[in-house]
Structure 1
Amino acid sequence: MDRRTVLRTLAHAGMASFAAPAVLRGRYRLFAQSGNEYSARTIALMRESTVIDMLCQFAFDDFRRPGGPLGQRWLRDPRTFTAEDFAMFRDSGVNVLALGSGPGSYDDAMRFYAQWNGFIASNSQWFTRIDDATDLRSVKATGKVGVMLTAQISDHFRTAADVNTFYGLGQRVSQLTYNSQSRIGAGFLENRDGGLSSFGQEIVARMEQVGMVVDLSHCADQTTLDALEVAKRPPIFSHASARALLPACTRCKTDDALRKLAAKGGVVGVPMIRFMIRPAPPVTVQHMVDHVEHLYKLIGPDHVGIGSDLDMIGLSNGMPATGQPNLTNQPNFDRYGAYFASDGMAHVDGLNHPKRVFDLTEAMVQRKHSDANIRLLLGGSFSRVLAQVWK
């Protein structure tokens, strides 16, 4: 890509004024507030791809902020969301994000989806709801950010009929369990993993019937394998990684489960959580690429994507006003094999900012991965499986 083409690309993205001083060096600064520089190839890949983060927490509750958490404020009164707020989402390069909340009860879920539908409708100049494959194909051209209504737990499904109800409200992905036991199956922190229940089988069948994606990220091993066995459409691990590289972290998936996921046509989203990438520090974007490469060898690039599990700012969890969040109060939490950064967060070092996918793409470019495989990682793999289930 020559200098003129690069500047035209950057101008299209509204970034040329930031990049111009670095053009002659063949490296490009995209953002005034960041010293990171990116190759022309990275910029082109990000511009050409529909970038999907299959688990983006949007805005974690940060009680250190004057006026309280932004996310709560935005959902209570969508008019408080400003063009300056949207700039962070736009400049991230992420075109589609899947929400990461876990509304537990039927009533909580009703409130959750009502609030999000209201927020998207009130800010339709900036956001659009992703309902089907057509939306995935068109969202990039609109300049908007697509929001996928999802859930990290399925406790709001009291009966199979509730799957239809929430599909009608826009939910397109549901994680069968979170960390503990439910009527559907066992989460990975549960004492005993009895596998997928008969009710769980009914829920999976109804989800596939209506066109809702089955997510098995937090499920315990037997529950994961049972769901993979009964699945007739491709399921996903929206945010998971390979236990072969982190034996102490049973939140990660076994090679057996990953191979069976791929055999069903599914996709795993690699997280940007430090203790799900490497068992001990340091942990950087290069270690994340190591993890991607392991998955490429195990199941192939068609089955690997991104599920950061961070919010757009780069936080890995909510923050109380006192700082240093307490994340270790769940039973059997040691199964995470968790360790944290000095700020109490769990992000991969250097990726706790909105433009982190540019950094991942640049690292993939430096490792000489093909454009085709990088595009699959950025969103191509998830686009395929979502379109297949939603058709």
Structure 2
Amino acid sequence: MNLQPEGVYPFPLSGEEEERAKQLHEQIIIIDLLFQGPLSPKAIPAHVSDHLREQCEPYRDQPMEYSMMPAKLIKGMIARGELAEFKEEWYRSGITAGNRELDLSSPESVVTSMGEVQRQFDAVEWLDKALTAGDIREAKRSGRKAGIVTAQENDGLGKNLDLLDTLHHFGLRILQLTYNNQNYVASGCMEPADGGVSKFGERFIGRMNDLGIIVDTSHCGKQTTLDACGISVHPVIASHTGAEAIYGHARCKSDEEIKAIAATGGVIGVFAMPWFVHGDPKDTTMEHVLDHIDYIVRLVGVDHVGIGTDWPMSDVEWALVHFKEHVAPMLGFAKGDGPSTETVKGLEKYSYFINFTRGLIARGYRNEEIAKIMGGNWLRVFEQVWG
């Protein structure tokens, strides 16, 4: 499908509706709660990609390192101010706040990733660490951007609950109970045994509640999601998922899970992962993503839907191909499944993010409803849990 001009998805909008979308997108607070951007392979210059490949070539026989190193090197370039595209893409996207992710998969990665994340906040003068909902509102008022510290796994913490206090002090505000597989806390969505939350996991969620760290169930199994909703005294979320009824993938949530999350006052963030929202990843469009949003709105109401794109990555294409072929199977993905080079048509770059606003207008949503889906619902949960 041809996008003319660049990045404008062909929704059937009138000139008046296009102007409405432009003004609304500029006015509202927009939050992407699985924000891998603002860069994407199509936003990273070819000469940068080639240079990174040369630097990584000595690690070709180490699949994990070879696949992950370009993204790390890109972070270093950002910290040194060597990628102007980082600021350009973020500001063109209109996104007010997006997550900055810690890696808590091992004790070593906990320390390393804390340093990397803090380095970005220290180096990027227009990016603020969001510790409260008010920080996000202030970023919007002042023309700055906000980063929300999150993590998708917690294996590196072992059973030391005190480390949650340390991480919260650092700025951690959202934490997933498990990533696909089984850990001390709970069962993931790729586990054959849908074991739910463990006894230790109950204590873990209790400490998260006490600290004001939001419980994220995106990669969790069905029973884990239901258990978490029953245990947590604060709203539970799924920062990046889809509706199983629209596309039956293990990464999507059943109606029962969606209803349970909504019943806590939580929000279901819809992702833009071509492999998880539609049967043909090579022909997945914004319309398919909007189908998931529409379904969840009809099921539980407009107050419980948000956006957590999770794609595209701030990475280069050759590393993504290598990741899918050699690393994804080690992380619990089925052979041939998981991230690669495909993108949702209409979201090849984060600077095309207005297509969400345009698409919601095309689907008949009112301005106040669009404001909720694009960020207001996330902000409501943040205000309730963080203050």
Shorter-chain TM-score above 0.5: yes
Q: Residues 1-391 of structure 1 correspond to what in structure 2 (within 5 A)?
A: 34=7, 39-58=18-37, 64-67=49-52, 69=70, 71-75=72-76, 78-100=79-101, 102-124=103-125, 126-158=126-158, 159-247=160-248, 249-280=249-280, 282-311=283-312, 319-320=318-319, 325-326=324-325, 328-330=328-330, 333-334=333-334, 338=337, 344-391=340-387
> 2 CA distance for matches of 1:50 and 1:96?
8
Residue number in structure 2 paired with 1:3? none
Could you say if the C-alpha distance between residues 259 and 100 of structure 1 is closer, same or farther in structure 2, counting changes exceeding 3 Å? Answer: same
- The farther-off stretch of 294-303 and 151-160 is 151-160
Cα RMSD between the aligned structures?
Answer: 2.8
> 2 CA distance for matches of 1:206 and 1:130?
20
CA shift at 1:311, angstroms? 4.2
Q: Identical aligned pairs, as a percentage?
A: 29
Could you say if the C-alpha distance between residues 330 and 70 of structure 1 is closer, same or farther in structure 2, counting changes exceeding 3 Å? Answer: closer
> 1 CA distance for matches of 2:123 and 2:165?
25
Q: Name the structure with the higher helix share.
A: 2
Amino acid of the residue matched to residue 370 of structure 2?
I
CA shift at 1:188, angstroms? 1.2
Alpha-carbon contact 1:64-1:322 (below 8 Å) kept? no
CA shift at 1:90, angstroms? 1.1
> 2 CA distance for matches of 1:112 and 1:92?
25
Runs of 5+ in structure 2 lacking a partner? 11-16, 56-69
> 1 CA distance for matches of 2:76 and 2:208?
27
CA shift at 1:332, angstroms? 6.0
> 2 CA distance for matches of 1:322 and 1:293?
32
Residue number in structure 2 paired with 1:10? none
Alpha-carbon contact 1:75-1:116 (below 8 Å) kept? no
Q: Deviations over 1:195-235 (max 9, x none)?
A: 11111111111111011111010011111111111010001
CA shift at 1:154, angstroms? 1.6
Runs of 5+ in structure 1 lacking a partner? 1-28
Alpha-carbon contact 1:74-1:81 (below 8 Å) kept? no
CA shift at 1:149, angstroms? 0.9
Q: Deviations over 1:318-373 (max 9, x none)?
A: 74297684265247634x99488xxx424322311122321121111112211111
TM-score by length of 2: 0.83
TM-score by length of 1: 0.82
Q: Find the residue that maps to 2:157 and give its secondary structure.
A: coil
Could you say if the C-alpha distance between residues 70 and 232 of structure 1 is closer, same or farther in structure 2, counting changes exceeding 3 Å? Answer: closer
CA shift at 1:308, angstroms? 0.2
Q: Which has the higher contact order (CA 8 A, sep 6+)?
A: 2
Alpha-carbon contact 2:242-2:277 (below 8 Å) kept? yes
Could you say if the C-alpha distance between residues 357 and 165 of structure 1 is closer, same or farther in structure 2, counting changes exceeding 3 Å? Answer: same
Q: Find the residue that maps to 1:174 and give its secondary structure.
A: strand
Amino acid of the residue matched to residue 365 of structure 2?
H
> 2 CA distance for matches of 1:80 and 1:201?
43
> 1 CA distance for matches of 2:323 and 2:238?
29
Could you say if the C-alpha distance between residues 230 and 324 of structure 1 is closer, same or farther in structure 2, counting changes exceeding 3 Å? Answer: closer
Amino acid of the residue matched to residue 305 of structure 1?
G
Could you say if the C-alpha distance between residues 312 and 133 of structure 1 is closer, same or farther in structure 2, counting changes exceeding 3 Å? Answer: same
Could you say if the C-alpha distance between residues 307 and 132 of structure 1 is closer, same or farther in structure 2, counting changes exceeding 3 Å? Answer: same
Could you say if the C-alpha distance between residues 64 and 325 of structure 1 is closer, same or farther in structure 2, counting changes exceeding 3 Å? Answer: farther
Alpha-carbon contact 2:246-2:291 (below 8 Å) kept? no
